[in-house]
Structure 1
Amino acid sequence: MLLVAGTFLLAGVVKGVIGLGLPTVSLALLSVALNLPTAMALLLVPSFFANLWQSAVGGNAKVILARLWPFLLMATATVWVGVMALTRLNPSLLTALLGMLLVTYSVVNLGGIRLAIPARHEVWAGPLTGLVNGVLTGMTGSFVVPGVMFLQAIGLSRDVLIQAMGMLFMASTVALGLALQQSKILNAEQAILSIGAVLPAIVGMVAGQALRRRLSEQRFRTMFFVALLLLGAYIIANAVRTFK
């Protein structure tokens, strides 16, 4: 309980300071301390509540759905495919895949890499990216690669981008929860712990928002992605070491 509470407190601080990172930080740390399926189950309720507000605020929901519904639909509908793979593939292999996604996410952000997808290509790039994102979500619990990169690449304004990411994360969380429960990976004890993790996550977010006024957000972002890069590399190395 202390491990889970401490993890979500830290993840909440990160989200409070830079506006993202709660599912990513909690998933990365819990997958090291426990195991990947348990980490995925524990992040469900805090992730849902953290992104519920983000997905609802902004007044752009209709515009986002009208433009991005094929991407969001595929990203949600294919999560169960990834969860099927989660129940069949070697856990060390999937943990290493999570580490690779964290390293990729960190390198893209640290390097300032920004892709550009012309509007005429969204008709096929959206559903394809959503499909890949959904499968990877089901396999690893990570929502961000390549979905966030797609949203950044299509030229959304800052406010629309933030709300669109919230909608992606919330829908993915719901789909992941349903798929984990259907596959009997999510049990009652994990559900209770996940509900209990909401409070430390909120406390962390409030503390992070207070820290934001004292810290350089850009410097904190850099520190966050460097730490995430190192953690992802450690997850890969540890998974390879334990591979059977």
Structure 2
Amino acid sequence: MTQRIPDAPVSASRYCPGMEVLTALMPLEYIVFAVAVTLLAGVVKGAVGFAMPLIMISGLGMVLEPRLAVAGIILPIVLSNGLQVLRSGLGNARDAIREYAVYIVIVCVMILVSAQFLTVIPTEVMFLVLGIPVTLLCAIQLAGLRIIIPPGGRRAASLVAGFLSGTLGGLAGTWGPTTVLYLVAVETPKARQIVVQGVIYGLGSVMLLLGHLQSGVLNRDTVWLSGLLIVPAILGMWAGFRLHDRIEQKAFRKVTLAVLMIAGLNLVRRGLMG
């Protein structure tokens, strides 16, 4: 049985910090599972540079109510994406913002807007909202599908892709795969892609934080879960950085995507079957 996010913070008389709040939200074994999923997500992000939100949403969504799963990923991805921006250099980040301003602004605005709808969507629909994009995006990348948008259509593409990415970001906490597909489609050079991704992920994660502070998904109860998951996220990234040069990146990426697609299909099953 999945655990439900509180509709509002508990009253002051009942509120107690730390593990007591966490165990009120979910059983201890679910907490351990959430830590393990986040550690794995950090390893993958450190090794191949993507997929932390996808892995966390897919994994946490197996045992937690979707809104609680989204709350759990927020602080880990804010911190990890902030580190990614710093590693790329602030000068490069400013250049990326100027070059991709339209896409970045639309993504950030749509994350803020769509995040407000998370609390009113039925649980079964939320499983579908989480599972369908994960499954489709993983399938597209596994198939190696590459769409090239001609220069004349790129402004329109930035509007459409930004709207889609931001909507998925606010509802499901993940806008990375659609961003990668967009950057490839507009033929962004590989080195530039890394910088642009860092900026979009970093700014987007801040918008996700602000959006769900407003929506109430991240509140004084659920923040304990999100804060706890920072530790395994950073430890996992450290381990992933060490693995980066020791593994065959292409094969590891394909295995990761295949596992994510299976997890996405499981979320779709739960959405359809209840």
Write the deviation string for residues 152-181 of structure 1: whole angstroms up to 9, x where unpaired.
Answer: 211111121112112111222111111111
Q: Verify the 8 A CA contact 1:101 1:145 in the aligned structure 2.
A: no
What is the aligned partner in structure 2 of residue 172 from structure 1? 204
The percentage of aligned residue pairs carrying the same residue is: 26
SS at match of 1:66: helix
Unmatched 5+ residue regions in structure 1?
none
Question: Which secondary structure state, in structure 2, belongs to the residue aligned with residue 113 of structure 1?
Answer: coil
Q: Is structure 2 residue 47 aligned with structure 1 residue 17?
A: yes
After superposition, give the CA deviation of every residue in 1:216-243 in whole Å (9 maximum; x if it has no partner): 221111110111111111110111111x
2:5 match: none
2:240 paired with 1:208: yes
Q: Distance in 2 between matches of 1:212 and 1:34?
A: 31
Contact 1:106–1:229 at 8 Å: present in 2 too? yes
2:229 alignment partner in structure 1: 197
Give the aligned residue type for 1:70.
Answer: V
Cα distance in 2 for partners of 1:80, 1:19 equals 24
User: Does the Cα contact within 8 Å between 2:57 and 2:130 map onto a contact in 1?
Assistant: no
Aligned to 1:135: 167
Unaligned 5+ segments in structure 2 are 1-30
Q: How does 1:2-41 map to 2 (within 5 A)?
A: 2-41=32-71
Letter of the 2:234 partner, please give it: I
In the alignment, which residue of structure 1 is the partner of 2:214?
A: 182
Aligned-pair CA distance for 1:145: 4.8
In 1, Cα distance between equivalents of 2:94 and 2:240: 30
* RMSD over equivalenced CA pairs, Å: 1.6
SS in 2 for 1:24: helix
Q: Which residue does the alignment assign to 1:54?
A: 84
Query: CA separation in 1, counterparts of 2:154 and 2:95?
Result: 15
Aligned residue type for 1:29: G
For the Cα contact (< 8 Å) 2:72–2:225, is it kept in 1?
A: yes
- In the alignment, residue 218 of structure 1 is paired with which amino acid? K
- Between stretches 95-104 and 192-201, larger displacement belongs to 192-201
Give 1:123's match in structure 2, choosing from 136, 151, 155. Answer: 155
TM-score of the superposed pair, with normalisation by structure 1: 0.92
Distance, in Å, in 2 between the alignment partners of 1:164 and 1:221 is 20
TM-score by length of 2: 0.83
Q: Which residue identity lines up with residue 115 of structure 1 in the other structure?
A: I
Deviation at residue 112 of structure 1 after TM alignment: 0.8
Give the deviation of 1:213 after TM superposition.
3.6
Match of 2:140 in 1: 108
| Count of residues paired in the alignment | 242
Mapped to 2, the partners of 1:143 and 1:95 lie a distance apart of 17
Amino acid at match of 1:60: N
Contact 1:54 1:162 in 2 (8 A): no
Question: What's the secondary structure of 1:187's corresponding residue?
Answer: coil
Amino acid at match of 1:163: V
Structure 1 residue 82 corresponds to structure 2 residue 111: no
